[in-house]
Amino acid sequence: MQRIALTSISVVALSLAVVLAWRQGASFEETIAAASQLPIALLALVFVLSLINYGLRFLRWELLIGPIEGLSRRRHLTIYLAGFSLTLTPAKAGEALRTVYLLPHGVSAGHSLACLAVERVLDVLAVAAIAGLVVIFWPLGWLIVLPSMVAVSVFAWLLRRNHSADALPAWLPSRIAMALAPLQSAFRPFSLGTFMRAIPLSFFGWGLEALGLALLVHHFHPEASLLLAAGIFAAASLGGALTFLPGGLGGTELLMVALLTAIGLTGAEAALVTAVCRLATLWFGLALGLIAVPMLGARAVEQRGSGAR
């Protein structure tokens, strides 16, 4: 099953590169020629950076969820990765699958979901900050960054009121208050110190994925700014998220290709860089999740069997 999943993901990524290149007027031959110029070492580095990002995000999850008695770190990591098997859902809500696996270990569904909600806000905080690099070079970048900065501002405001017993302000429209109340409740169990430790993990994690794209861009276009390329990764990720499509599919890719061609990459190069970036970030995480889920099932069977003996 794992081999089938990984093969399917590779085919999807290659197909995506060809389709994106075709939309940019590049031929199949040009895309293959660009792919042949990519060093294996660079590809490996991009995947390693993505893997480190997942490791940092797991450390952040551990920080938020707190100690869990009787749960080994190895199994906890497997549970965390299993959530990525459903990452192709709006706002990655499918990652709530972790809740199911953590329930037998005494972690309430409410606490798991609160941690997931805080994770998403921290992700927006980090990605929006990185996307701000685009604004330095491209004034229209505000159209992408501004909505995310509004979300960050709401986060900061809720954090300030985290331990306040006061209700949400009366001047807020009722629908907005109803939407914000669960989010405020989700933040309430976490201390300011927890957030202060979780925020750097978010920045470093997403920064490494942005660096992966920047290195790919630098290979094809050495004159391009690494900071701008990193900002393009974040801006495209935010733009894709604003489409509310699962995993930002379609929106992220099209925006990333458009921005990369705007800084000097050819259509074939931009399409290839985008496909590799999405393979190493979105599809690689999905593959890890698909591998982790059967491992959890097998361990559960082993545990039931040992209990029966």
Between 300 and 284, where is the model more confident?
284
First to last CA, the chain: 30
pLDDT for residue 60 is more than 60: yes
Q: What is the total count of domains within the chain?
A: 1
| Choice between 25 and 236, residue whose per-residue pLDDT is larger | 236
Residue 76 has a pLDDT of 95
The residue that leads in pLDDT, 59 or 180, is: 59
* Contact between 228 and 205 (Cβ < 8 Å): no
Q: Kindly indicate the confidence band of residue 241, based on its pLDDT and cuts at 50, 70 and 90.
A: confident
Distance CA 229, CA 227 (A): 5
* Cα gap 121→183, rounded to integer Å: 10
Q: What secondary structure letter does DSSP report for 224? A: S
Instruction: Look at residue 257 in the predicted model and tell me its pLDDT.
Output: 87
Q: Supply the pLDDT for residue 93.
A: 65
pLDDT (tens digit per residue) in 66-116 = 999 889 999 999 999 999 988 776 656 678 889 899 999 999 888 888 888
- Residue-range definition of the domain harbouring residue 77: 2-308
For the ranges 118-122, 157-161, 202-206, the lowest mean pLDDT is seen at 157-161
CA separation for the pair 226, 219 (Å, rounded): 11
Residues 6+ apart with CB under 8 A from 118: 64, 186, 187, 190, 198
